[in-house]
A and B are shown apart, each in its own frame.
Chain A
Amino acid sequence: MHAETKQHDFEPKIVAFVCTWCTYAGADLAGTSRMQYPSNVRVLKFPCTGRIDPVFILRAFQKGADGVLVSGCHPGDCHYMAGNFHARRRFAAFRALLSFVGVDLNRLQFSWVSAAEGGKWVDVVTELTERVRTMGPMPEFKELEHEEQWSTFAGASADKVLNSPELKEAYDSIG
């Protein structure tokens, strides 16, 4: 018997960057224990949270993620001793940067999920998915993907618009 599935207007895409030793095993445990969690999450396995470069998170948002989860071993449990300690500082800094440029941090979740915490994995993923679902799609990075330099100028303040008659003519002649 399948659990009853609810229909939603919006199914967010969630990308989860996880470490292979703890969170991946935790997610695996959730699976083998037949726990239910939203299928919105796409899991990407890394050796360690220390290997998860902030640029991966950007890339995920650019390519269509509405929410991102980064998860690894609890402090002290890192397979490589200190990878997650370094990651913790890097992500703390990265959050500040994202927030400064105007990204809503509610779309980005960090967690520690051990190999034994199948239940916690389910909770974390469910909570993030539902939160992002109520927030709706994330348009910012996706819009950038489809823009060219001049398309933003059109919306910029008057003095920054590229509007010389020659340019206008050239642009119009492209059709």
Chain B
Amino acid sequence: MNAKASKTHVTCIEPAYYEAITEAIRKEAVQILKDETVVGVVGYLPGRRKGTASPALVTTAEEAGKLIFSPACVNNLSVYLTKAKKGVLKKGKVGIVAKGCDMRALAGLITESQLQREELFIIGVVCPGVYGFGAERTGTLTEANIARKCRECSVHLPDGADVAAGTHTELADLTPEEAEEMARIEAMPQAERWAFWKEHFSRCIRCMACRQVCPFCYCEQCLCDKNRPQAVESSPRPAGNMAWHLVRAMHLAGRCGGCAECERVCPMDIPLNLLNRRMAKELKELYDFEAGLNPVEKGPLNQYKEDDDQSFIK
């Protein structure tokens, strides 16, 4: 696959673009199910309401012919292959439809020995973007309804996938809203930063949707659920919330693939991806680590160098 050469910039992405991807995914999924390369394919089926899509595991060629890809395919499907969602992988090789940002999660899970590359058939999507939360679902993707993460996407091309569906197309002139927001917070005086996050965290209802949806939150027992000894207060009160959010950000540091699923599912609109991005930025600066499309031997907090920075240590 070499789509780089033919990259185009447009102001809106028509439904036809997604239909072409849909066709390619169907063809591939039907094929690998027919020749028994895989026992199932995790992909998207049309949702019950117009303009929506649901994650689905299809196991027959007939079902695979109904798979879709549209800007409503927001979910990061890699979560279904983790220990937290037991059972899907047990029987053999599995196919999975993955956007670039989902592939970073697959790569991270392989790095952490949670998945094996040989057990996956990755149908990569050359993804121009998906709908933002609450945005208008018109079928056409524009600057007005694209997700925040997609504005700054660096993984439109699913390099490393077994096959890629789509031709490289991007929306032109997107402002990096999230990066600007992060810079704005960093420029605040310290007390204001505390007030900003305190207000956000205090709204958290501890529904744990952000944890459920995260491919990297696969621990069988979360530290934040333990009560003997209790590290983090589990009721939704400001103190426990602050601790939960700091622990979450810490536990995802150096692992998070930036799919922003946590932020998407948060019913209280807490900008979780800002924390993820801040940690990613730090690990890039300190240890030159960036979550990528291909597995690495070890994450940045699972390794060290003897001459790592220690200017903050006396």
Residues of A at under 8 Å CB distance from B?
53-55, 58-59, 62, 75-76, 82, 85-86, 88-105, 109-112, 124, 140-141, 144-145, 147-149, 151-153, 156, 160
Residues of B at under 8 Å CB distance from A?
185-186, 188, 190-199, 202-203, 223, 231-232, 236-239, 242-243, 245-247, 249-250, 253-254, 275, 278-279, 282-283, 286-287, 300-304, 306, 308-310, 312-314
Bound: A101/B125 CA distance, A:
35
Contact residues of B: prevailing secondary structure: helix
A-B contact pairs, 14 of them (CB 8 A): A54-B247, A55-B223, A55-B250, A58-B247, A59-B243, A92-B308, A93-B279, A93-B301, A101-B242, A101-B246, A103-B194, A110-B313, A110-B314, A149-B202
CB–CB B239/A85 < 8 A: no
Across chains A and B, which 8 residue pairs bring their CB atoms closest together, nearest first? A102-B194, A102-B193, A85-B304, A111-B314, A152-B202, A96-B282, A144-B239, A110-B313
Tell me, rounded to whole Å, the shortest Cβ–Cβ distance linking A86 to chain B.
Answer: 6
CB–CB A100/B304 < 8 A: no
Tell me, rounded to whole Å, the shortest Cβ–Cβ distance linking B136 to chain A.
Answer: 22
Residue among A88, A104, A153, A160 with the most chain B CB within 10 A? A88
Contact residues of A: prevailing secondary structure: helix
| In the complex, residue of chain A having the shortest beta-carbon distance to the beta carbon of B202 | A152
| In the complex, residue of chain B having the shortest beta-carbon distance to the beta carbon of A85 | B304
CB–CB A89/B304 < 8 A: yes
CB–CB A89/B194 < 8 A: no
CB–CB B190/A92 < 8 A: no
CB–CB A101/B193 < 8 A: yes
* Given A97-B275, A102-B191, A102-B193: A111 touches B238 (CB 8 Å cut-off): no
Residues from chain A with a CB closer than 8 A to the CB of B308 are: 85, 88-89, 92
* Given A75-B310, A89-B301, A102-B190: A144 touches B238 (CB 8 Å cut-off): yes
| In the complex, residue of chain B having the shortest beta-carbon distance to the beta carbon of A123 | B314
CB–CB B190/A124 < 8 A: no
Residues from chain B with a CB closer than 8 A to the CB of A59 are: 231, 243
* Given A93-B250, A144-B239, A148-B238: A102 touches B197 (CB 8 Å cut-off): yes
Residues from chain B with a CB closer than 8 A to the CB of A104 are: 190
* Given A104-B190, A144-B242, A149-B202: A96 touches B279 (CB 8 Å cut-off): yes
Bound: A86/B203 CA distance, A:
34
CB–CB B238/A149 < 8 A: yes
Tell me, rounded to whole Å, the shortest Cβ–Cβ distance linking B124 to chain A.
Answer: 30
Residue among A59, A102, A112, A140 with the most chain B CB within 10 A? A102
CB–CB B306/A85 < 8 A: yes
Bound: A110/B313 CA distance, A:
5
